[in-house]
Amino acid sequence: MNQATTVVPSTQIWPLIRYIREQRVILDADLAPLYGVETRALVQAIKRNRDRFPADFLFQLTPDEANALRSQIVILKPGRGRHRKYAPYAFTEHGALMAATVLSSPRAVTMSVYVIRAFVKMREDQAANAAILKRLAEIDKTLLLHDGALRDIYQKLRPLLEPPPPPPRPEIGFHIREEPLPYRTRKRQK
């Protein structure tokens, strides 16, 4: 299979999508191999067509953001000229599609469909998770209301549910009473 027809499934694209500046994006170094070009070729095409990429399609990472990404990777690639001189570009869903149209290679056009599907699938998963979290919050709220009502009912029923106190037990054994018994006179026998 040649490079133009090799397709990467969406499940392999999902790990490449990152969450930066509260947006789901894919970095230029991850997008370029998917589209079958070198990163520098992708960046050059973007710079030549900068007017097609508004701020909500593409942005360049700040040095702090780039350093944070580099520290996550831990090991830099060895060799001269292997490190990036400039901060990477981050493409949103629409920016990744626009990059494919700017490159206009058969591989870029084919892969753009899979990249967009990966973004859409992630958005659907996030929406499903949000719906589940909303439902759990509603259940939790309902339980809190029920818990208060159940607690009140329990407090009112508890005296009725408790067994009556046991009757006093008779004392066993010899006991000395504190008060003396009345004196009895006995008849003397003669």
How many other CB atoms are there within 10 angstroms of residue 97's CB atom?
Answer: 18
47-66 per-residue burial string, b: 16 or more CB within 10 A, e: under 16: eeeeeebeeebbbebeeebb
pTM over 0.85? The answer is no
Confidence category of residue 90, pLDDT binned at 50, 70, 90? very high
Residue 116: name the closest of 4, 51, 31 by CA.
31
**Side-chain-facing half-sphere of 178: CA atoms under 13 Å:** 0
pLDDT reported for residue 58 = 92
pLDDT reported for residue 81 = 55
> Is residue 17 within 8 Å of 24, Cβ to Cβ?
yes
Q: Note the pLDDT tens digit of each residue in 138-177.
A: 776 776 666 777 667 767 766 666 666 777 777 777 767 6
Nearest-angstrom CA–CA distance, 169 and 30: 85
With a CB cutoff of 8 Å and minimum separation 6, the contacts of 45 are 37, 99, 102, 103
Q: Note the pLDDT tens digit of each residue in 97-117.
A: 888 888 878 888 788 888 888
How many other CB atoms are there within 10 angstroms of residue 99's CB atom?
Answer: 29
